[in-house]
Amino acid sequence: MERSPVRVDAEALHEFVVRVFEKMNVPSEDAETAADVLVQADLRGVDSHGVARLGKYYVAGLQMGIMNPRPEIKLVKETPATALIDGGGGLGMVVGAKAMNYCIRKAKQSGAAFVSVRNSNHFGVAAYYAMMALPQDMVGISLTQANARVVPTFGRQPMLGTNPISVAVPTREERPFVLDMATSVVARGKLEVAAREKRPIPLGWALDKVGNPTTDAREAMESRANLPLGGLTETGGHKGYGLALVVDILSGILSGWGPGATIKGLKVGHFFGALRVDGFRPVDEFKEMMDDMIRAIRASPKAPGQDRIYIHGEIEFEAEEENKKKGIPLHPEVIDSLREIAGSLQIAFDL
């Protein structure tokens, strides 16, 4: 029988995750950052990218020496509006937040800035870093490579990651626009769910091992051959393939870390950007026009059977409000995995 999620207090969860990272020799300040990124994902309902991965991705990465708890993060090169940062093999969340902070600092000076990052690791949700630009009245951009599980159009071997794109844009009274999308049709999580429930997947999500479109979720899991956004060619799959390449070029080639097909495990490059709104026009006028646009789209006529049009980020902001009040709903299996981590690291477990 399926067990129901249990609501866990966000602050208590945050404290627990900090203790885990500290125990793994991560300095307190960095442990706070890493916990922030993971718990914010859970708060915003993106539970695929939250504490469910604490053990499997990050504790394991630190234990195996793949991730460095005390990395030497180095500025390799810069101009007024660009920089290359070497992450020293650190936790992606720590490297990512530091790189985006540096990017924002540079954008304050120059109006806009872009930072490419090499030698980092899986950084959790891309939106976290793009959203760091919002309180500064900047447009934030965050991209990252991931290991290969997407095929190029007409190919059958995964050569690209799900390479997400996140863009965050400030608003006045409306909630900020926060896009955070894989450049594949669907993320791996949706295949996992369909495979578990033995449901067929729509044609155009993935190929089988031979390279034919499949509706069998388990075949799709095995082949790792996800289709890029747009699916097959007649529905524009070459466009998602192109976007995945752009992410790979900015995160992997501009940083010198290498293309997606050469990525080992969680060791990836990232790319961050920040643009000052007032580098173009007055912030107040911009935000007012954002609000107007959002309201006009939301108020536009709905398709049959639909009663609401969403703006990107809206569902996550609503989840965050609810989960802050009621606690974060964690699957019992996730709670078990956290208890296990606590046991193996010999730290208190009080969730």
Interface residues for a copy of itself in 33-72 (CB under 8 A)? none
State which amino acid sits at residue 163: N
Q: How many Å apart are CA 243 and CA 52, to the nearest integer?
A: 28
Contact with a copy of itself (CB under 8 A) among 72, 292, 321, 350: 292
Residue 168 to residue 180: CA distance in whole angstroms:
9
Q: Is the distance from CB of 166 to CB of 129 less than 8 angstroms?
A: yes
The Cα-based distances of 127 to 44, 133, 328 in angstroms read 11, 10, 19
Q: Which is nearer to a copy of itself, 21 or 177 (CB)?
A: 177
Q: Cβ distance 252 to 258 under 8 Å?
A: yes
If binding means CB under 8 A, how many residues of this protein chain bind a copy of itself? 92
Contact with a copy of itself (CB under 8 A) among 66, 81, 134, 195: 81
| Segment interacting with a copy of itself (CB under 8 A) among 11-19, 119-127, 176-184, 319-327 | 176-184
String of contacts with a copy of itself for each residue 206-235, x by CB under 8 A: -x--xxx----------------xxx--xx
The H-or-E segment that residue 102 falls in is helix 92-110
Options 236, 318, 329, 349; binder of a copy of itself; rule CB under 8 A: 236
* Phi/psi at 212 (5° precision): -95, 145
Q: Taking Cα atoms as reference points, which of 48, 35, 321, 24 lies closest to residue 186?
A: 48
Least Cβ distance, residue 148 to a copy of itself (angstroms)? 10
Q: Rule CB under 8 A: which of 113-142 touch a copy of itself?
A: 113-114, 116, 139
Under the criterion CB under 8 A, does residue 289 sit at the interface with a copy of itself? Answer: yes
Does 5 participate in binding a copy of itself (rule CB under 8 A)? no
Q: What is the 3-state secondary structure (H, E, C) of 69-98?
A: CCCCCEEEEEECCEEEEECCCECHHHHHHH
* 241 three-class SS: helix
Among 135, 202, 265, 332, binds a copy of itself (CB under 8 A): 202
Q: Does 146 bind a copy of itself (CB under 8 A)?
A: no
Supply the minimum distance, in Å, between the C-beta of residue 255 and a copy of itself. Answer: 7
Using CB under 8 A as the binding rule, whether residue 246 contacts a copy of itself is answered as: yes
Contact between 83 and a copy of itself (CB under 8 A)? yes
303 part of the interface to a copy of itself, by CB under 8 A: yes
